[in-house]
Structure 1
């Protein structure tokens, strides 16, 4: 009795798909056993009866075993009426579950289960360009896109996981599996004015850092007076989009035609890697001119400047001395 109650509890707590499959297999075993005892000459072993039942309900019908008695054929009719219905329901359930899961995936309602992913917050042209570029990398980069405005996954066929929702909410960030993320990129909400967009970004930084303090967080900030708030919230790196745009426009005003050159320069270094690297011990005390020559000749690295603590020196004087703990701003080919 206890075994029966335990089995019943397991059955009713199982998914519908498992329940249907359990009923179908039970019918196959029961009817196969009946045929074995009703017609032992036709079905010499229990396995022969179960085999016939399975072949019958699956509508394959090999014809190697066929009941010959009236009672045997009545049992076969009952099996076909009952068993085939459950088998059909089973496959229909599989199709339904697959279709439902696909719709949930497209609509951004499924949680991400992977690890080492880059979480990108917000959908705009900058996000699109970033994702397009990341998808060309080898090995493939795992990407999770979070946005509240999109109706469905714009990259469903390219392996990008989409989560629909407000990234300032803990439950949305947790659906992106923030604990396993390697990096978070937060872009400014283009549907809001600049101040409101920056406030949204700061709130998102707080939500992300509150759930995983050590995750590397890059944030796009539009207004200069929100830079301090973004840093206090925990942003590891801040991208000042408006500052970059202003730089390009000012250069075009003062020197006509520089915009195409700047864009071509960015395109040229797109396939390279701009990074910070420690100055080799042998070059401590050397001049910037010597360092650039040495790194270009031996490391194939183009040195653009020096980062010393919180200060950055781009294209410093050739006599600029390299000190211990200086970082080289380099383009690595």
Structure 2
């Protein structure tokens, strides 16, 4: 028994590639031997290969079987060694799949794709962001980078997790930063000191802008006084985490009903939403764009961050304009189709 156990342990430690090569050689060699022993039984080498595979798999359809003594002895040989080898291969495959899943769950696998969205630092806000992204575009792929060692959303295969320091070039390359569509950096909730949290966010943003200056980066900032530092590293958009909640609460108290409007605009699954529409060639002024959108039931809201364009309707639309409207999704789809 000790000899048997030692032998089994040695076999289990054999590299997977070696085992697969041995099994393939065994199958092909067995098929050749079977065809050489009983050519009139199998007629072709492929039929012999088919018989070897069904024998090793213990299926045994009975359409081919050994008829000579030598053939039956060889069949016993396949029973003893072939079934064992096949079981070993199946075990190795299961072990490989289990290892891949564990590495995926632990965030050790590289992401392979493009036009994805990268979320950095896991928190409830990141979870809500995922729900919002998928409600707008269910086919979107999302990569979460966090310093934890376990995948935060294991039930969604379109969400890839990478464990590590988000300011590290190696980790950002694992997330395919240069092929990503956008990056959202949330403040690290594990850091209690706001200044330190913003410092970490700034370090991450600097690494991202250095590696991929053209990518759109949005960051969450905990202290308003730090916004100038983020502008210095060319962050595209930033959100003041506590400021937004406080202002929304005050507006709800002083202007009753206003919070419901804002909630609709920031939640894609409720009511109307904000959409960017292309500038039509026939739209020369903001008035043309306003009336053109209104005909479809949408309200022109802004050109980029300029909310005052409805007070300058006669101004020409600049070439680099980005027009945003308020509408439902169906109206937005019709505006895209015109």
Same fold (TM over 0.5): yes
Within 5 Å, give how 1:47-86 maps onto structure 2: 47-86=46-85
Deviates more, 1:152-161 or 1:101-110: 152-161
- Alignment match, 2:297: 300
2-side partners of 1:45 and 1:296: how far apart? 72
- Alignment match, 2:315: 322
Going from structure 1 to structure 2, the CA distance change for 1:16 and 1:136 (only over 3 Å counts) comes to farther
Within 5 Å, give how 1:123-138 maps onto structure 2: 123-138=122-137
- Alignment match, 1:272: 273
Within 5 Å, give how 1:148-187 maps onto structure 2: 148-149=147-148, 151-187=150-186
Instruction: Give per-residue Cα distances to partners, 1:184-226, cap 9 Å, x unaligned.
Output: 1111111112111111111111111222121111111121221
Within 5 Å, give how 1:98-109 maps onto structure 2: 98-109=97-108
CA drift at 1:262: 4.4
1-side partners of 2:288 and 2:68: how far apart? 97
SS in 2 for 1:111: coil
Deviates more, 1:205-214 or 1:63-72: 63-72
- Alignment match, 1:225: 225
Q: Which runs of 5+ in 1 are unaligned?
A: 1-14
2-side partners of 1:158 and 1:36: how far apart? 46
SS in 1 for 2:136: coil
- Alignment match, 2:198: 198
Deviates more, 1:136-145 or 1:252-261: 252-261
2-side partners of 1:36 and 1:108: how far apart? 49
Instruction: Give per-residue Cα distances to partners, 1:301-321, cap 9 Å, x unaligned.
Output: 3244566xxxx6645895786
Instruction: Give per-residue Cα distances to partners, 1:112-152, cap 9 Å, x unaligned.
Output: 10111011112222211111121123462121111123622
| Matched length | 311
Q: TM-score, normalised by structure 2?
A: 0.77
Going from structure 1 to structure 2, the CA distance change for 1:169 and 1:70 (only over 3 Å counts) comes to same
SS in 2 for 1:135: helix
Deviates more, 1:264-273 or 1:49-58: 264-273
Tell me, yes or no, if the aligned pair for 1:277 and 1:330 is still in contact at 8 Å. Answer: no
- Alignment match, 2:93: 94
Q: Which runs of 5+ in 2 are unaligned?
A: 1-13, 329-338
